[in-house]
Structure 1
Amino acid sequence: MAPFSHGAVRRASAAPGAHPRIDPRYCTDDRDLGAMAQGLRVARDVENAPARATWRGQEVLPGPDLWRRQRTAGQTRRPRIGH
């Protein structure tokens, strides 16, 4: 996978032992969100195959009604990871 979103690592101070400031900027490019959504669709298709029926349980996360909820809200929620 080659994400379009790019983060940054910067110095927090001039002190040699100071921890760097890391900003991963996950999913800041809409193309990454589209790729993740497509990957989730493929995973659901695999899991919903008839051969998996005896092992399949109910989807817990992100939940079976994710797409309907997003269309109803009319927006895509960006995760705030690492902040």
Structure 2
Amino acid sequence: MAYQIAKEIGAMATTLCGKLDAIILTGGVAYNKRITNWISEYVGFIAPIELVPGEDEMLALAQGALRVVEGKEIAKIYENEVKF
């Protein structure tokens, strides 16, 4: 998993021409020192590594629903199913 994360960070850094202020590792993976240290060894030369542990997905979903309920945002309704 750490290897794949490092590859993806490298790919994304390339699309930004290496102009990154920081690489931020979030979610549950940021709690795992072994994984974050390994990732840092491989991509730390690109930009400083910042850790923001925690799973905030449910909070983000709740905040989005609240914005719709309060009329601050319009709910997106996807009518057509995309076939692959």
The interval holding the TM-score normalised by the smaller chain is under 0.3
Which of the pair has the greater relative contact order for Cα pairs under 8 Å at 6+ separation?
Answer: 2
What TM-score, normalized to structure 2?
0.25
What TM-score, normalized to structure 1?
0.26
Q: Would you tell me which structure has more helix in proportion to its own residues?
A: 2
